């Protein structure tokens, strides 16, 4: 059985990122995998699971979620045991070393990623198109933070349209989005990101299941291509198929 834990939907559910759990469950079940999706609230203990999902939220709820996760380090232990984690927007920042919130307050993150988030000069809202090798992530960003990755952390991809984390350290002309360390993924892309990018959902599933997945014919793949092309054409981004 594949167990998916959606963490604190009452706090980190502002942008519909709970849909990521639905996408993972659907794509797994269509391949014959038995799936259990658990919504974990502040009142619950962090359960053992194969995949953990953290979504976006505002400053106050984000801090509540951070403090709750830091209490017993249960998520950190599961990461050490090989669990897959996806953090989106506020979830991304929580996984990092620290992040700033309104009032010039710095909050200590979980430290699962070497990533420091500071408040940018303005809020970044709009389409986000990111190249990940030969593939693409399309989504929508809405955040006031900019995130600097540590030397040992690879960005998830290079931004062709939008802001993402901001400029990559040491490369003033290139913006990046997200991060990946082992089985831990992070991004600023909403959408939900796994609904708009089925290949990424399958990558997470394959890691959690420990095997290559058979192809899944789905309208989602065509919709992904159309969305990438539409965002690229509208914003004049150059991208290859």
> What is the tens place of the pLDDT at every residue in 190-226?
999 999 999 999 999 999 999 999 999 889 999 999 9
Q: Residues 107-110: contacts with CB within 8 Å, 24+ apart?
A: 107/62, 107/63, 107/66, 108/66, 108/70, 109/66, 110/66, 110/69, 110/70, 110/75, 110/76
pLDDT of residue 235: 54
Cα of 193 vs its chain's centroid, Å: 7
Task: Quote the CA–CA distance of 62 and 236 in Å, as a whole number.
Answer: 35
pLDDT of residue 125: 96
DSSP letter assigned to residue 156: S
CB 175 within 8 A of CB 164: yes
User: Which overall architecture, per CATH, does domain 2-235 show?
Assistant: 3-Layer(aba) Sandwich (3.40)
CB 14 within 8 A of CB 56: yes
Task: Quote the CA–CA distance of 186 and 184 in Å, as a whole number.
Answer: 7
Task: Quote the CA–CA distance of 113 and 115 in Å, as a whole number.
Answer: 6
pTM (two decimals): 0.94
For residue 20, give the nearest of 155, 218, 205 by alpha carbon.
205
DSSP letter assigned to residue 154: B
pLDDT of residue 241: 45
The CA-CA-CA angle for residues 99, 103, 106, to 5°, reads 25
> What is the tens place of the pLDDT at every residue in 173-194?
689 999 999 999 999 999 999 9
Residues of the chain with pLDDT under 50: 239-241
For residue 176, give the nearest of 115, 231, 123 by alpha carbon.
115
DSSP letter assigned to residue 104: T
Torsions phi, psi of 209, nearest 5? -85, -15
Torsions phi, psi of 60, nearest 5? -60, -55
User: What are the tokens at 21?
Assistant: 């759990």
Task: Quote the CA–CA distance of 194 and 4 in Å, as a whole number.
Answer: 14
- The ranges assigned to domains in the chain are 2-235
pLDDT of residue 3: 98
DSSP letter assigned to residue 33: -
Query: Which residues are annotated as catalytic?
Result: 89, 190
């Amino acid at each position: 059985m594949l167990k998916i834990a959606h963490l604190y939907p009452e706090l980190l559910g502002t942008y519909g990122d709970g849909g990521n759990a639905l996408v993972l469950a659907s794509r797994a079940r269509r391949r014959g995998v038995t799936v259990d999706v658990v919504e974990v609230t502040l009142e619950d203990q962090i359960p053992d699971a194969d995949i953990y999902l953290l979504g976006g939220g505002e400053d106050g709820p984000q801090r509540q979620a951070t403090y709750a996760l830091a209490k017993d380090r249960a998520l950190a232990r599961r990461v050490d045991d090989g669990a897959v984690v996806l953090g989106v927007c506020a979830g991304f920042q929580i996984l990092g070393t620290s992040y700033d919130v309104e009032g010039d307050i710095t909050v200590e993150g979980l430290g699962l990623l070497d990533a420091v988030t500071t408040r940018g000069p303005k809020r970044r809202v709009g389409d986000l198109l990111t190249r990940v090798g030969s593939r693409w992530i399309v989504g929508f960003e809405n955040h006031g933070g900019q995130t600097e990755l540590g030397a040992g952390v690879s960005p998830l991809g290079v931004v062709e349209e939008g802001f993402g984390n901001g400029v990559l350290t040491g490369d003033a002309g290139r913006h990046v989005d997200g991060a990946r360390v082992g089985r831990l993924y992070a991004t600023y892309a909403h959408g939900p990101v796994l609904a708009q990018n089925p290949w990424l959902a399958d990558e997470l599933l394959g890691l959690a299941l420990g095997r290559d997945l058979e192809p899944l014919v789905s309208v989602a793949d065509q919709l992904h291509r159309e969305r990438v092309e539409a965002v690229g054409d509208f914003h004049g981004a150059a991208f290859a198929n």
